Amino acid sequence: MPRIARVVAAGYPHHITQRGNYRQKIFADDTDRRKYLSLLKEESKRYHLIILAYCLMSNHVHFMAIPQREDSMGKVFKYTNMKYSQYYNNKMKVSGHLFQGRFFSCVLDEQHMIACARYIERNPVRAKMVKEPYLWPYSSAKIHCGINRYDPLGTNKLFDYIEQEPKEWKEFIEASDNPEEMKGIREKTRTGRPLG
């Protein structure tokens, strides 16, 4: 049975998520996370993908990104995940698939773009790993809140697309999750249908 074609709209933001195979851990330590971000930065530059928000969890990743070409997302995640899998399997002395199939994604409109960035950056709070989103070291939250200037993926471009400042963003992501927004983001990302 052929795969359903992915909906990609060049120039528009997308929510992207990828899980470990069988929900296994894909990062053993901080060195692994830095390696993944380094590979992603390299491939994003090569294949023209603007990363606006991200969060690396232990067994999955979330991104909000704008592909500049129809094939940007596919190529970036194909090569990032392939290179990272080779690195990780070699390090752990294992073989096999690290990631579960292809990544999930959906196109976002402007209203849902803001909700999605918040959804991504609040992921560690929902998982009860930190009390505030900007305390998680491997997400764009601390950058968007103006707490950390180190921006490995150039995610501070988010403010070129939305009308908020870091102080406002901090207050926005500290607020509780909206269950209806979360449900919509999860459903559309899983099915690949546009959100908005």
- Extents of the domains making up the chain: 14-191
Report which of residues 111 and 18 the model is more confident about.
18
pLDDT at 2: 54
Q: Given pLDDT bands bounded at 50, 70 and 90, which one contains residue 139?
A: very high
Q: Given pLDDT bands bounded at 50, 70 and 90, which one contains residue 150?
A: confident
pLDDT above 70 covers a percentage of the chain that reads 97
pLDDT above 90 covers a percentage of the chain that reads 74
pTM above 0.85?
Answer: yes
pLDDT one-digit tens code per residue, 35-61: 999 999 999 999 999 999 999 999 999
DSSP string for the chain = -PPPPPP--TTS-EEEEEEBGGG--S-SSHHHHHHHHHHHHHHHHHHTEEEEEEEE-SSEEEEEEEESSTTHHHHHHHHHHHHHHHHHHHHHT--S--B-SSPEEEEB-HHHHHHHHHHHHTHHHHTTS-SSGGG-TTBSHHHHTTS----TT-GGGHHHHSS--HHHHHHHHHSPP-HHHHHHHHHHHHHT--B-
pLDDT one-digit tens code per residue, 81-113: 999 999 999 999 999 999 998 899 999 988 889
pLDDT at 175: 92
pLDDT at 3: 58
Is residue 88 a contact partner of residue 173, using CB atoms and an 8 Å limit? no
pLDDT at 4: 65
> Of the given ranges (30-39, 54-63, 108-117, 135-144), which has the lowest mean pLDDT?
108-117
CATH 3.30.70.1290 given to domain 14-191:
yes
